[in-house]
Amino acid sequence: MTVPGEFGPSPDLAEDSGVVRCGFVAIAGRPNVGKSTLLNRLLGQKLAITSHKAQTTRHAILGIKTGHASQAIYVDTPGIHQRGHAALSRYLNRTARASITEVDLVLFVVEALRFTAEDAEALRTIAEVEAKAIAVINKIDRVEEKTRLLPYLQELSVRYPFRDLIPVCATKGDQVDRLEATVMEALPPREAFFPSDQLTDRPERFFAAELLREQLTRRYGDELPYCTTVQIERFEERDGRYRVHALIWVERPGQKAIIIGDRGQALKAAATRARLEMQEMFGCPVHLETWVKVKKSWSSDETALRSLGYPDT
């Protein structure tokens, strides 16, 4: 972002921007294939939170990249999955499917040399809307014998009429420039939707919650993050500093105790790291206060989900 505090869309389009191609590009696939890492690499800065845990991404996030003569509006999506039947799982799948509909292009991200049932489910979703798509084969740095990629690419090309198949390493940036150039060429002729200096349509309040949830997801056990969500109770600017009051919701008292830790040290460590991440993103000092509360079975309750910032899609 170029101006701290200005995340939302501007009512004025940059008519003299020189952009002649513009479109929406959904980044889709199963969980844990590196979709959010790819978004951050394409944008050249961190926007989406990441972790090694599945279902870290819970919302569709717009990341806007304006080039010399084109503007790609990337949409990071939750991983399409077959795990669990809780309300939260259904919400994530609905959000991902809704994001794929009516975009100009889909980046179907898979992990090199792997194709699971959830990959197939994600590809079926793309096929249902007959989306124009590019296959992005991620994590090629883990493939020691590169010759093994060729039959894998051939297999993918049979599964769907992709416009192109591009192996990349999102964490290191390998071949991401080629992917970006291919995306820009595929965008339809159209003027820019957003000003050239705008990065996203989400407000700082949203990213404050995401950055705190990222630390909780990274720091605790395999199952606890899925029972945890963050709600910003208050977000205000005062004397050049952001004051953020955040509620961390869990489903059971035992989970609350784990989040807080001995004498509050675990929560203090997570909150401190989140605050530093907020300061880097927002470009100003941040005062963060956190509380942990219990809302029984919130992830299985549609009404509770809506109250905690997971709207109907």
Calculate mean pLDDT across residues 116-120: 97
Q: Which CATH superfamily groups domain 204-307?
A: K homology (KH) domain (3.30.300.20)
Residues 34 and 56: their CA atoms lie apart, in Å, by 11
In the chain, where the domains are located: 21-186, 204-307
Of 16-25, 107-116, 167-176, 201-210, where does mean pLDDT reach its minimum? Answer: 16-25
d(CA 284, CA 240): 7
Distance CA 302, CA 252 (A): 18
Q: Across residues 98-118, what is the average pLDDT?
A: 97
The reply to whether 21-186 and 204-307 are identical in fold is no
The DSSP-derived string for 251-295 is SSHHHHHHHH-GGGHHHHHHHHHHHHHHHHHHTS-EEEEEEEEE-
Which H or E element spans position 25?
Answer: strand 21-28
Residue-averaged pLDDT of the chain: 93
Question: Is it the case that residue 5 has pLDDT exceeding 80?
Answer: no
SS (H, E, C) 112-147: CCCCCHHHHHHHHHHHHCCCCEEEEEECHHHCCCHH
Average confidence (pLDDT) over 42-61: 94
152 CB-near residues (< 8 Å, 6+ apart): 112, 113, 137
Closest CA to 202 of 57, 97, 64, 305: 64
Decide: 6 and 237 in contact? Cβ < 8 Å.
no
Q: Are strands 21-28 and 241-250 parallel, antiparallel or unpaired?
A: unpaired
User: Which residues neighbour 137 within 8 Å (Cβ) at sequence distance 6 or greater?
Assistant: 110, 111, 112, 149, 152, 153, 156, 165, 166, 167, 168
> Which CATH number does the domain 21-186 belong to among 3.20.20.140, 3.40.190.10, 3.40.50.970, 3.40.50.300?
3.40.50.300
Name the pLDDT band for 103 (thresholds 50, 70, 90): very high
Is the pLDDT assigned to residue 131 strictly greater than 50?
yes
pLDDT (mean) for 159-181: 98
